[in-house]
Amino acid sequence: MQPSSIYFAIFLGITTVLYFSTPYRFRWLVLLIASIYFYMSWSPEYIFFITISIFINFHISLEIAKNALPKKRRIYLIIGLVINLVPLIYFKYIVFLSGQIDIVLSWVNFPFVFPHPISLLAPIGISFYTLQVIAYLLDIYRGFQKSETHIGKFALFTSFFPLQISGPIERAKNLLPQFSNPTVFNYSDARIGLKRIAWGVFKKIVIADRLAIYVDQVFNHPTDFKGFPIILAVVFFAFQLYCDFSGYTDIVLGAAKMLGYELSENFNHPYFSNSIQKFWNSWHISLSSWLRDYIFFPLRRSLLKQKNLPEWIVQFSPPLITMLACGIWHGANWTFVIWGCLHGTYLIIENQFRHRADGYFEKLSSKIISGFYYTFQTCATFVLVCFGWIFFRANSISDSLLLLGNITRLNITYYLSAFLARDINEFLKPFIFNGGLNQGNLLLSVLLIIFLLSAEAMGSRMDINRKIDNLPTVIRWGYYVFATFGIILLSVDVSTRNFIYFQF
């Protein structure tokens, strides 16, 4: 059940009506049944796996909470971590790991070949589910969170349908209390929720799916392209990924809002960030804050406690290891490892030099210079992030290296002569190819990106929802109708592609 499909819209409508028609104390049950139904629409074969996992995690959390002895608490925590991490490792990484072991063994001419593990399709959303449950157990262990004693509400916390497939990775302190305090139906919330869903659907089926056509061709045929078409594909991928994932997030947050639930935001205009650190504070926020709270800070604290360690290890290893974990979490491929290490390196370099540069420009205290400096920083951050996306999207390391090798072959004279001759067809010729976008769609894609950035810039400065609400009814409704047909007629296809983050 794709969240951008009619099926999901009908499912959400029925769930909302049933939810608000049910007495308060049984509402969690309606959501749980809806969540089970939603899960089974994706992978019914794993419902037993998820049920057993919920049951075990519930009891482990109770054991951690009720035991006063730190040693026992730690044992239960370790059991909990192992029980959650083993399936994740098996489903996501075992085939990759066994392949790597084979390679290493073939290097040393090892005579025996280990039997290969059976490759199984991972349960939908396992990476998100695992992190959410681990955070819950760790919070209970640290005493930041009380354990939930109602197994139904705990089951709902781990399987709430808007969060099931690709997060946001929700913290217990935010979500669990909301299950115990259901709200009455709020007209304004429902309206805001619907509008947010529409915006998410627009980003997914109008922008992301359109850009994907171009991006897929270039990244799947890296030898066929040179220079600017690759640069455009990388920029397109940056926006495809953003529109795809933030579109999904908008849909699920909107759906939760209709039901009266406030979930965590996952994005905050990431491409307007003027540093890599700020980028990570505004990109996939629920994951980056998870990594910060459960890997970066604990690692840094433990390293600071070690007095004999060299300063550079204390400084460099936490960001590097955290981002490496981030890369590995995304998938079993060396491209993700490189992508993670690259961002770790960015953060290290930024921490070392940024303050000095900032201090220098602050001293100048000129608005124009600081404005230019800010713009330069934002553009540089975007370029660095895009450079990372090459590894993130490429099918293999050799593909990413091929693309990087070809990206520099710009053939500027060709574009310059076409530009001077004012021949747009000639100028766009290298960007038009079989299986890609035609000229109209290519230009439309660029316009859509500009529109997206303008809307986001406006949205960060004013409450657009309120502005729309203040319009006269006829104009407001006209706008809604126009927007609905805009989405439908500009969408690439009815049967939309899967959301990119579903694979993670």
Partner 1 sequence: MAKFIYKFFIFLVILKICDILLSSFFFWSLQSQTALTEDVGSLNRMYHSEINADIVFFGSSRTSLHVNPEVVQDTTGQTAWNLGMDGSNFEQQEFTLEDYLLHNKIPKIVVFEADLLSLDPSLLRFKTELFLPYRNDSSHTFNLFNSSWDESLYYWFFSSTVYKPQIPAILLDYQNIIERIKNGGNIHEQTKKSKILTVNRPDYVLVNGAQFKKGQVPGQIPQTLPYPFPVIRFDLSKIINREKKFEELTQFANNRGFTLVLMFPPYMNGEIDESQRKIAIDFYSQLSQKYKNIYFLDYSQDPLLDNNPNYWWDENHLNIKGAKILSEEIGQELNQILKKNK
Interface contacts to partner 1, rule CB under 8 A: 5-7, 10, 17, 20, 185, 187, 190-191, 440, 477, 480-481, 484-485, 488-489, 494-495
Tell me how far, at minimum, the Cβ of 411 lies from partner 1, in Å: 17
Question: Measured between alpha carbons, how far is 203 from 190 in angstroms, rounded to an integer?
Answer: 20
**Cβ nearer to partner 1, comparing 255 with 341:** 255
Residue closer to partner 1 by CB (options 16, 288) is: 16
- The whole-angstrom separation of Cα 406 and Cα 350 is 28
Least CB distance to partner 1 at residue 452 (A) = 21
Residue type for 10, please? I
Please name the residues in contact with 255: beta carbons below 8 A apart, sequence gap of 6 or more: 3, 12, 161, 162, 193, 197
C-alpha span between 51 and 224 (Å, rounded): 48
Instruction: Report the nearest approach of partner 1 to the CB of residue 189 (Å).
Output: 10
Cβ proximity of 249 and 200 under 8 Å? yes
* Structure letter (DSSP) for residue 206: I
Residue nearer to partner 1 on the CB measure, 20 or 391: 20
Q: Are 222 and 394 in contact (CB under 8 A)?
A: yes
The crossing angle, in degrees rounded to 10, of helices 311-330 and 297-305 is 150
Output the smallest distance, CB 488 to partner 1, in A: 5
Q: Which of 59, 116, 284, 330 is catalytic?
A: 330
The rounded distance, in Å, linking the Cα atoms of 53 and 421 is 66
Q: What are phi and psi of 259, to 5 degrees?
A: -85, 0
Q: Please, which residue, 306 or 495, has the CB nearer to partner 1?
A: 495
Nearer to partner 1, 198 or 446 (CB): 198
Question: Cα(436)–Cα(453) distance, rounded to whole angstroms?
Answer: 23
For residue 42, give every residue at least 6 positions away whose Cβ sits within 8 Å of its Cβ, in sequence order, or none: 1, 124, 164, 165
What are the distances in angstroms from CA 451 to CA 212, 459, 475?
A: 18, 12, 21
Contact between residue 211 and residue 358 where contact means Cβ atoms under 8 Å apart = no
Residue 13 beta carbon to partner 1: minimum distance, rounded to whole angstroms? 9
Q: In the bound complex, what is the minimum distance in angstroms from residue 6's beta carbon to partner 1?
A: 4
**Cβ within 8 Å of residue 214, ≥6 positions away:** 232, 233, 236, 431, 436, 437, 442, 445
In angstroms, the CA 153 to CA 326 distance is 29
Give the integer Cα–Cα distance in Å for 361 and 355: 10
Say whether 221 is catalytic. no
At 380, list the tokens. Answer: 């540089």
Distance, in Å, from the CA atom of 75 to the CA atom of 73, rounded to the nearest integer, reads 5
Judged by beta carbon, residue 41 or residue 43, the one nearer partner 1 is 41
The minimum distance between CB 194 and partner 1, in angstroms, equals 8
Instruction: Name the DSSP class of 271.
Output: G
Q: Which tokens hold the place of 400? A: 């990413």
- Closer residue to partner 1, CB minimum distance, 401 or 444: 444
Comparison of 113 and 494: residue with beta carbon closer to partner 1: 494
Active site residues: 330
